[in-house]
Structure 1
Amino acid sequence: MRRFQITRSKVRLAVALALVPAAFLADKATAARSAPPAEPSVVRTDAGLLRGQTTGTARVFNGIPYAAPPMQALRWKAPQPVKRWDGVRDALTLSSACPQQDNPEAPGGSTAEDCLYLNVTTPAQKAAKPRAVVVWIPGGGFFTGAGNSYEASKPATRGDVVVVTVNYRLGIFGFFGYPGLAGSGTYGIQDQQAALRWVQRNARAFGGDPRNVTVAGESAGGMSVCAQLTSPTSTGLFAKAVMQSGSCAFNWADNSQYPGQAADSPWVPQNTVQRTGTDWAASRRDDLKCKPRQAMLHCLRAADPAVLVEDTLQFTQPAYGGTAVLPVSPAKAMKAGLFHRVPVLSGNNHDEAAAWMSAFNGGDLTDADYPRLLTDMVGAADAMEVQREYPLAQYGSTVAAWTAVTTDRIWSCTQVANDQQAARKVPVYAYEFADKHSPLAQPGQGAAHAVELPYLFSLGGYDFPMSETQKRLSEQMIDYWTAFARTGDPNGPGRPHWAPVGHGDIRGLSLAPTDQGGIKTVDLSTEHHCAFWDGL
């Protein structure tokens, strides 16, 4: 498998266009409405007492450690238990984001390896019985992102669930590999499992039911959820799964996400990531300030995190093989039916790939560029077939046509393939977010990657302005998602019926406000030409 190689400028472009929705600028958060006075709230966890706060209708506990700081001797090791503390520990402020380069979720970047923390939000009112728990894994390409970006009072209080948002190791800290290094390429995935185990031990302290946990995520978070579906070491840690804009089958063709990018997937064999780690470490030995005859792993564990984060983009793919965490590629595991038998809610945004159009000549594409783009993607022999399936005249511009082609090939049909595989064994509810005027939508991009997130969360502590029809769609989506978390069935009063997918083509709900057609059933396989891509 060829490595995922793109320039840093392109990565920053991806962050700016596709991942900004998960963070948002501090001035917007500052401009958010002032919170009413908070009331203290104390719970007992397995490591000690925690003091959170009750604000309005929600109880919030921020910055809870779920594993020991993975620093120095614990760098690139499986997450270790938290040390108990005496007295009452404040859980009132968010932790640092895990190490990552500068991006909107971590302005200026982060080198804080003491970052394995989670946040818990619950309704303030006590329940007669334990509530369902939703564990949210954030996206960010496996090299950026933080659970801290997702303020969860809306889904917790409206949906009557406990919401847990998680930080996990990213980039070189989460997915580095080296010969003899146990767990090479899986530390971020292991962190997610450590958080899920923390939930199993501590859910009841927050009024949650450890037997009714839903693991959910978007983008790399959705891919992580699918990885957990196929991981033997996540057995018993969750009862349902939500995959938004990310699946085990996700992959890309040559030059389809970025010019010059080779075909690949998120998953890489462990021996490949170890070879990459060996080559990288040898090339950086002087920068790492290794001592003469010092063992490389000792040098690496002593290295300044600021030096490591400079090359974090070399390690953005979870590893499989040679480890109990992901013994085989998640894509192959799903195809073979080797996944946990839990209900699944899965979907995409209608125009996912629009967020990447600026990578192609700044989004300035002419009609003459279309055949070249297709040829660079699938070769001359198949380019004509793609052009017949997606005629330029039908879309009105090369940008619109190229968006449709790459959305379908990279995002929609890979998600549909996983839905088909999962539906052979478990209930699957498929969807497509289709609001072309989300408050995060850029002009002309429609329902691009990640623009559904403010319909489920307050992002960066900020509630984006919405029209009345959009507010209603947000309420319906939260109701669907949290009903699924509670019962495994998203249906309930006040919203259109959502049928599980059957055999053959994948039919699901198109989620749009009423002034854009409303919520209705669509054939996702046909809409996104999936039979064509299967046969190409």
Structure 2
Amino acid sequence: MKKVSVTNHQSNYIFVFGNKAIHHKDIKRTMVYTVLLCLLPVLPLVAPVQYHTLDTPLGKVAGRQVPVGTGNTVYKFLKIPYAKPPVGELRFQKPVAVERWSSIHDSTEHGPSCLQAIPATIKNVLENKEVSEDCLHLNVYTSGGLSSTTNKSVMVFFHGGAFVTGQAQLYDGSGLALNGDVIVVTANYRLGVLGFFSTGDSVARGNYGLWDQIEALKWVKNNIRSFGGNPDSVTIFGESAGGFSVSLLALIPQNKGLFHRVIMQSGTYSSAYAINEKPKDFAITFSYLSKCKNVQTSQAIFDCVRNIPTDLIIPTQTNAIRMGLLAPDSLFRPSCAPVVDGELIKRAPMVSMKNTSSDVYAFFQSLDVIAGCVSAEGSLLHAYIYPYMEESYGFNTSEGVPSSLLRSYFARVVAEQLYKNQSNVWKAIVDKFGSSDIQVQARKIMDLYGDIFFYMPMIKTLDIHASNNKDSSTFQYLFSEPNLVSLSGKPHPSWFRGSEHGTELIFLFGIEQMKSMNINISSSTLDFVKQIITYWANFAKYGDPNHGADDGTRWPEYDEVNRSYIDLAVSSISQQKSMFRDRVKFWEKDLPLIASTPVTDRAASLMSVKWTLLIMLFLYHLIRCL
């Protein structure tokens, strides 16, 4: 049984008994509860938590009021439903807006994560460790005086997790809201099969998770004023799969007015990981493993899968993903991801961007944009992939990686899938990224992976946005600060350099949690955190991360010629140009020239069972860690 606490705010009495928020009219009954509590054994005293209620267009909500420092207050309104539970007939359907409630909604604790297999390292730090199909909730964080007239800019964050894992509750927006003087919203969206199952036609179009994100943004548009937010100043941002998501939302003209600025962190629409080009392959595999009797037609598949018991979805999904990895193009095709559905996403993103007179292109260029990456996106390899290749290639990840891994696997797969197995392309990649030093080789393979799936797609996206654009701003960053802790839970090898995938989220959302873990946070690190939050919040408020800044390094605007960006690290925040210039030149100019004179190596195309199994293993762990 939880503590009972009582607060008075603007003549609204709220009693919290367990998870229930009780209005002052029920005071007599609450007094009875209090008497009963007095009869229980004495428990250790806990400082009472304060609560606050406010009216929204959907009804009253009761959230937490948390004192921070001297004279500061953060308000947390958690587990606010923005759509009806997507269960039963609503499974594999667009979200349906939630209806108004009559009683006070308890927004004091986090809701469950959307259905998934939560990694143990993540599950251990979650307040709510449950998963459920009924998960379409969002959290609102704000600070200062809670008034509908404050008109603060709003930042809506969508989490990453390869579209199969992740949860809003992992990202506490309190620090960003308080120090950036903005309102932060974090939202769950459907994942995996439930979020992105598609038959590749009108029977099951897919993209349910993206529709959820749009519904959450509609909730913000209609309700955020009650929390003091400005619905006409909304920035969406996300990391990894969240970055892919917000970049895709920025290509949908129907979203005009729902948001005005976009921050893409380690993921843009031009990456192979943003779109599943062959969704029906996975749909057939999943339905077959679900023991559907008929997988011959889309309708038969849909009718069967729609009724699969909830507890069978995740284990079946995991097996289907493993089987899908046997496809020769699986390295460049996620199993569960957004699709070109002909409705929400009408054509492939890069195809849409070629038409500079289209409404898609115009909408994208109308938005202010930041896009960036960490300096070691390839950390996904050493944390999750290299250890599973050690036996086959005879190496120890902690010591380094042999060049045979580049020649026989990474260079081979890139040449096969992107350049029709041209042996001259394979050789050029080996020459560019090869090294006889196993430690240097380990880092160079990480560079290769990062270039293909993160850095080059980011640069393409920024070039498109900045091209002849006089209506909005474009900014790029590279986050170079090494991690405070290893995000994978494994120690970094001695050869590892840079900032691993997801590191910037610690500085945006998690610095207080680091303090609570007794991790020493230097004053220079705290100053750095303050500067990062200032950049992000200024961009959200003004479309310019430098607005009103009298000190600190000015963040240069990006253009196609100079490709200026800001390098973010505690030791130095600096202006730079042409990120990874030499490698970018290789992918943009050198390799296309080499590939223009194709030389087919038929023997190289005959991949043995050994390589097939390695691909399957590699991609399985890659999908789980994004």
TM over 0.5: same fold?
yes
Distance in 1 separating the partners of 2:445 and 2:281 = 35
Number of corresponding residues: 480
**Structure 1 residue aligned with 2:477, among 427, 431, 436?**
431
User: Pick from 120, 125, 141: which aligns with 1:121?
Assistant: 141
1:500 equivalent in structure 2? 557
Residue 327 of structure 2 aligns with which residue? none
Aligned to 2:615: none
**Range with bigger deviation, 102-111 or 474-483:** 102-111
Which residue of structure 2 aligns with residue 17 of structure 1? none
Distance 1:98 1:370 in 2: 37
Aligned pair 1:328/2:352, yes or no?
Answer: no
Residues 1:221 and 2:278 are matched in the alignment: no
1:176 is aligned with what amino acid?
F
The answer to whether residue 71 in structure 2 is matched with residue 65 in structure 1 is no
Residues 408-457 of structure 1 deviation map (CA, whole Å, 9 limit, x = unaligned): 23211111111111112331110000012433464225211111111000
The amino acid of 1:309's aligned partner reads I
Alignment correspondent of 1:480: 535
For 1:329 and 1:36, how far apart are their aligned partners in 2? Answer: 54
Partner SS, residue 493 of structure 1: coil
SS of aligned partner of 1:302: coil
Match of 2:66 in 1: 55
> Structure 2 vs 1, CA of residues 386 and 285 (structure 1 numbering), >3 Å: closer, same or farther?
closer
Which secondary structure state, in structure 2, belongs to the residue aligned with residue 151 of structure 1?
coil
Asked if residue 318 in structure 1 is aligned to residue 338 in structure 2, the reply is yes
Distance 2:463 2:554 in 1: 20
Query: Residue 520 of structure 1 is aligned with which of 547, 571, 574?
Result: 574
1:371 matches 2:407: yes
Following superposition, the deviation at residue 164 of structure 1 comes to 0.2
Matched, 1:469 2:506: no
Spell out the pairing of 1:297-312 with structure 2 (5 A cutoff): 297-312=302-317
- 2:576 and 2:460 map into 1 onto residues whose CA distance is 16
Query: Greater relative contact order: 1 or 2 (C-alpha under 8 angstroms, separation 6 or more)?
Result: 1
Is the 2:203–2:302 Cα contact (8 Å) retained in structure 1? no
Runs of 5+ unmatched residues, structure 2: 1-44, 68-72, 322-334, 391-396, 416-420, 592-626
Larger Rg over CA atoms = 2
Equivalent position SS for 1:211: strand
Relative to structure 1, the CA distance from residue 179 to residue 401 in structure 2 (aligned partners, 3 Å threshold; closer, same or farther) is closer
C-alpha deviation, 1:295, in angstroms? 5.9
**Matching residue's letter, 1:457:** F
Pairing of 1:233-272 with structure 2 (within 5 A): 233-251=254-272, 265-269=273-277, 272=278
Q: Which residue does the alignment assign to 2:435?
A: 392
State the 1:299 CA deviation.
Answer: 3.7
- Give 1:296 deviation, angstroms: 5.0
The secondary structure found in structure 2 opposite 1:268 is coil
Q: Given the alignment of the two structures, is residue 144 of structure 1 paired with residue 165 of structure 2, yes or no?
A: yes
| 2:286–2:317 Cα contact (<8 Å) kept | no
Shift of 1:472: 1.6
> Are the equivalent residues in 1 in contact too, given 2:199–2:283 (CA < 8 A)?
yes
Contact 1:100 1:144 in 2 (8 A): yes
Distance 1:456 1:427 in 2: 22
**38-47 or 66-75: which moved more?**
38-47
Q: Is the 8 A contact 2:379 2:501 kept in 1?
A: yes
**Residue matched to 1:458:** 510
In 2 relative to 1, CA 121–66 (structure 1 residues): closer, same or farther, beyond 3 Å?
A: same
User: Is contact 2:402–2:438 with CA below 8 Å preserved after alignment?
Assistant: no
Query: Structure 1: which 5+ runs fail to align?
Result: 1-33, 252-264
Matching residue of 1:351: 376
Deviations 1:344-386 (A, max 9, x none): 0110001111221241324352244343342343253123323
- Contact kept, 8 Å, 2:141 with 2:174, in 1: the verdict is yes
Query: Would the aligned equivalents of 1:149 and 1:459 in 2 still touch at CA under 8 Å?
Result: no
Distance 1:482 1:301, change over 3 A: same
Name the SS for the 2:113 alignment partner.
coil
* Amino acid paired to 1:521: Q
> 2:587 corresponds to which letter in structure 1?
W
Change beyond 3 A, Cα 1:472–1:479: same
Question: Which range moved further: 353-362 or 92-101?
Answer: 353-362
How far is 1:43 from its partner?
1.8
Pairwise CA distance, 1:76: 0.4
- Tell me whether 1:280 sits opposite 2:286 in the alignment: yes
Equivalent residue of 2:114, what SS? coil
* Structure 2 counterpart of 1:11: none
Larger displacement relative to structure 2 (398-407 or 88-97): 398-407
Alignment pair present for 1:417 and 2:460: yes
Q: Which residue of 2 aligns with 1:30?
A: none
Cα distance change, pair 61–381 in 1 and its aligned pair in 2 (3 A): same
- In 1, the alpha carbon distance for the partners of 2:463 and 2:279 equals 30
| Map of 1:401 onto structure 2 | 444
Query: In 2, Cα distance between the equivalents of 1:481 and 1:420?
Result: 21
Is residue 100 from structure 1 mapped to residue 116 from structure 2 by the alignment? yes
Over the matched positions of the two proteins, sequence identity in percent amounts to 26
Per the TM alignment, residue 533 of structure 1 is displaced from its structure 2 partner at its CA by 0.7
Displacement after TM superposition at 1:528 (Å): 6.1
Distance, in Å, in 2 between the alignment partners of 1:403 and 1:497 is 30
* Secondary structure in structure 2 of the residue aligned to 1:40: strand
Q: CA deviation at 1:394?
A: 8.8
Kindly provide the amino acid, as one letter, of the partner of residue 216 in structure 2.
Answer: A
Q: Distance in 1 between matches of 2:287 and 2:511?
A: 37
Shift of 1:110: 5.6
What secondary structure is seen at the aligned counterpart in 2 of 1:62? strand
Letter in 1 for 2:412: T
Asked if the contact 2:81–2:138 (Cα under 8 Å) also holds between the matched residues in 1, the reply is yes
SS at match of 2:587: helix
- Tell me the equivalent position of 2:544: 489
Question: Where do 1:148-167 residues align within 5 Å?
Answer: 148-167=169-188
Residues 367, 397 of structure 1: 8 Å contact kept: no
Aligned amino acid, residue 556 of structure 2:
A
Q: CA 1:118–1:273 in structure 2 vs 1: closer, same or farther (change >3 Å)? A: same
Deviation at 1:401, TM superposition (A): 1.5
Say whether the 8 Å CA contact 2:237–2:246 is kept in structure 1. Answer: yes
Q: Is this contact kept in 1: 2:553–2:575, CA < 8 A?
A: no
What SS is found at the alignment partner of 1:421? helix
Letter in 1 for 2:75: R
Question: C-alpha distance in 2, partners of 1:99/1:115?
Answer: 8
Structure 2 residue corresponding to 1:189, chosen from 210, 217, 222? 210
Native 8 Å contact 2:378 2:500 kept in 1: yes
Q: Which residue of 1 aligns with 2:610?
A: none
- Preserved CA contact (<8 Å) 1:131 1:207: yes
Let me know the Cα RMSD of the aligned residues.
2.8
**1:368–1:525 distance in 2 versus 1, CA, 3 Å:** same
Please report the TM-score for the alignment, with normalisation by the length of structure 2: 0.72
Q: Is the 8 A contact 2:206 2:338 kept in 1?
A: yes
Note if contact 1:59-1:122 (Cα within 8 Å) is conserved in structure 2.
Answer: yes
